[in-house]
Chains A and B, each alone.
Chain A
Amino acid sequence: MSMPSATPVLAVRHAEKRFGAVHALKGVNLEAHRGEVLALLGDNGAGKSTLVKCISGVHALDQGEIRLDGEAVVIHTPAAARRAGIETVYQDLALFDNLTPAQNFYCGRELAFPKWLPQGLRLLNGRAMDREAAAVLDRLKVRLPKFDAPVALMSGGQRQAIAVARATVFARKVVILDEPTAALGVRESRKVLDLIAQLRAEGNAVILITHNMEHVIELADRAVVLRQGRKVGELKPARANQQELVSMIVGAEA
């Protein structure tokens, strides 16, 4: 575990979000530091998905602000979040079934030339993208049956690994993972947990949403618990306080 740096790479202040009559976020504060895994916990409907969607540009905050490296930023689209250095591994993975792993890696930010043309009119540098993607998958020890096959033909774990690996290529500050192991078996989950540890080792702030307490205790340096749109607790997860953590999530006395 590296030491958290002084200025949080990501800071959310007094986040407010309403959907009609539903008050999803009620003044939530959140900080994430480089080189740590922050578990974001809470029961269904606690507001964790809403919070990360606001950080990754899918929703806009009604009130409050998001700071990156101490500077207030406005993030209105997922593309803006990515440009700012925030990568998200969505629960639905946001993979293109009809494209290969390398094409998936670079979709929306293709390596292409010449630079003076607008991105859409440039010519794809397919070889460079294949090479880079293969190198990343190799570095992360992700093994795929076929590198040039569409991801439609790959298993849930392989697809998850591709989505996480894609985030690692471009992550510069924050990586958000929304229930990355929910649909996976034991062995494939292990692989994804290793990837998350790798993301942390590379100096990212990792925000992990999960319902799996074992994974939280194993991997998370810090846990923040949301309940009914409020932050109700924050602690360093360990075997000893697992019960306390669960009580916070469900709102019962320990």
Chain B
Amino acid sequence: MVREGTGVSATAAGRATLVSWALRLLGIGPLLILILLAAVVSLLTPDFLKPGNLGNIVAQTAVIAIVAIGQHLVILTKGIDLSVGANLALATVIGGLVFRQIDSAPLVMLAMVLAGAAVGTVNGIAYVYGRLPHPFIITLATLSICRGLALEFAVGHTTMRGMPEAIAAIGGSSTFGLPNSLFVVLGVAAVAVAMAKAMVWGRWIYAVGGQPEAALKMGIPVKGVLISTYVISGLCAGIGAVVLAGRTEASSPLYGNLLELDTIAAVIIGGASFLGGRGHIGHALVGAVMIGVIRNALNLLGVDVFFQMIAIGLIIVLAVEADVLRNRLEARARVMQAAGAQ
């Protein structure tokens, strides 16, 4: 880069610094907003910071967070998984049916997780080998199919009571004063971070999401990478099913309603790019917690539930605009680079 003391390049350098600072701010923006939000809410209502309430937030956010981690991997590849909520419901129902046959926590858990992964596999294979232009349609279809199957399979077509004790403990009990579901979230997040950042497979996800055609030219197994993200998204829905069925000690074909929207919102609010290729697991977690905090705060403040939906919708609009702004700033930075190189 040219670094000369002339007035023109000094202003240019100043502007470049400004752009790079703005980009950095956008990167940690969601976390700052979350901290700010928590500070404001705790001033408005002292109940917010009470351990019992924080435990509530974690319990209510855990399922969104777990499923959002899978959704995040899919969104990294420019994809979307609309089936996660219905998939989770179907998984709890299958787990509930297994529980009716045998009171075995490992078997019930295995059934739920495998059911989730199986639906994800169907999504991935149908999307890639069905040569569909976008995963929107196929996952919309499996959303409908899973919800229907869950209602069909559930005894009495409604909620079934009962879960093995160990699963109830995972969803509802605490260890060292912290909810067990928090440990599940952290465990899933740790595995996902390790795979996405340390493994070649993770690098390929970013490559496929960044430039699919370049990925093909560079010999990356694009189809396999795409399918794997849907399998893992389904798997996460299955793990979410274990936590939710455990917390409620029940399985229901009605669980996970609109969970797809919550998880997509979490990923986008958290700061991952809807255009693919950008973001990390932390974004999904920050986004999930933000949704949890907003809901909880509005509840504590006695705000109507409809306004919660409106508030979350508005925040999604902000997050998407921030993503657009980031892309424009990067284009600006690129132009400045070119000017500096000449």
A residues in contact (CB < 8 Å) with B: 58, 77-79, 82-83, 88, 90, 92-99, 103, 107-110, 112, 119-124, 143, 145, 152-158, 185, 187-188
Cβ of A94 and Cβ of B214 under 8 Å apart? yes
Q: Are B330 and A153 in contact (CB under 8 A)?
A: yes
Given contacts A98-B209, A107-B207, A107-B218, contact A153 B1 (CB under 8 A): no
Q: Main secondary structure on chain B at its contact with chain A?
A: helix
Mark B203-246 against chain A: 1 for CB-CB distance below 8 A, else 0: 11011011101111111110011000000000000000000000
Q: Which residues of A contact B314 (CB under 8 A)?
A: none
Check B310 for interface membership: any CB of A closer than 8 A.
no
B1 touches A145 (CB 8 A): yes
The 3 A-B pairs with the shortest beta carbon distances in the complex, nearest first, are: A79-B219, A108-B218, A155-B338
Contact in complex: B200, A94 (CB < 8 Å)? no
Q: Roughly how many angstroms separate A92 CA and B278 CA in the complex, as a whole number?
A: 21
* B333 close to chain A: CB less than 8 A: yes
CB distance from B57 to the nearest CB of A (A): 32
Select one of B199, B337, B340 contacting A123, CB under 8 A: B199
Cβ contacts under 8 Å, A152 to chain B: 330, 334
CA distance A97 to B199 in the complex (A): 20
Chain B 299-324, CB-CB to A under 8 Å as 1, else 0, gives 00000000000000000000000000
Partner of A98, one of B199, B204, B278, B337: B278
Which B residues touch A77, using CB under 8 A? 219
Q: Is the CB of A120 within 8 A of B278?
A: no
How many residue pairs link A and B with beta carbons under 8 A? The number is 107
Q: Bound complex: CA of A97 vs CA of B224, how far in Å?
A: 22
* Chain A contacts for B1, CB-based, 8 A: 143, 145
**Is B8 interfacial (CB 8 A cutoff)?**
no
Q: Given contacts A95-B214, A108-B215, A185-B342, is CB(A154)–CB(B209) below 8 Å?
A: no
Counting chain B residues whose Cβ lies within 8 A of the other chain, the interface size class is 20 to 34
What is the CB-to-nearest-CB distance from A55 to chain B, in angstroms, rounded to a whole number? 13
Distance between Cα atoms of A158 and B211 in the complex (Å): 18
Q: Which of these, B200, B209, B216, B334, contacts A120 with CB under 8 Å?
A: B200
Bound form: Cα–Cα A6–B204 in Å: 41
**Closest residue of chain B to A79, judged by CB?**
B219
Docked CA distance A122–B32 (Å): 35
Q: A155 and B341 in contact (CB under 8 A), knowing A79-B219, A120-B224, A121-B201?
A: yes
Instruction: Give B contacts to A, CB under 8 Å.
Output: 1, 198-201, 203-204, 206-207, 209-211, 213-221, 224-225, 277-278, 330, 333-334, 337-338, 340-342
Residues in A neighbouring B220, C-beta threshold 8 A:
107-108
Of all chain B residues, the one with the shortest Cβ separation from A82 is B219
- Alpha-carbon distance between A156 and B338 when the two chains are bound, in angstroms: 7
Q: Which one, B207, B217, B334, B342, contacts A90 given CB within 8 A?
A: B217
B223 to chain A, nearest CB (A): 12
If A78-B216, A120-B221 touch, does A95 touch B211 (CB 8 Å cutoff)? yes
Q: Whole-angstrom distance from the CB of B128 to the nearest CB of chain A?
A: 16
> Is the CB–CB distance between B203 and A124 below 8 Å?
yes
- Indicate whether A145 sits within 8 Å of B219 (C-beta atoms), given known contacts A121-B200, A124-B203, A187-B342: no
18 A-B contacts, Cβ less than 8 Å apart?
A93-B214, A94-B217, A94-B218, A96-B277, A97-B277, A98-B278, A99-B210, A107-B207, A107-B215, A108-B218, A124-B200, A145-B1, A152-B330, A153-B333, A153-B334, A155-B338, A157-B341, A188-B342
Q: Given contacts A120-B201, A123-B198, list 14 more A-B pairs with CB under 8 A.
A: A58-B217, A78-B219, A82-B218, A92-B214, A94-B214, A103-B203, A108-B215, A108-B219, A109-B219, A110-B203, A122-B199, A123-B200, A145-B1, A154-B334
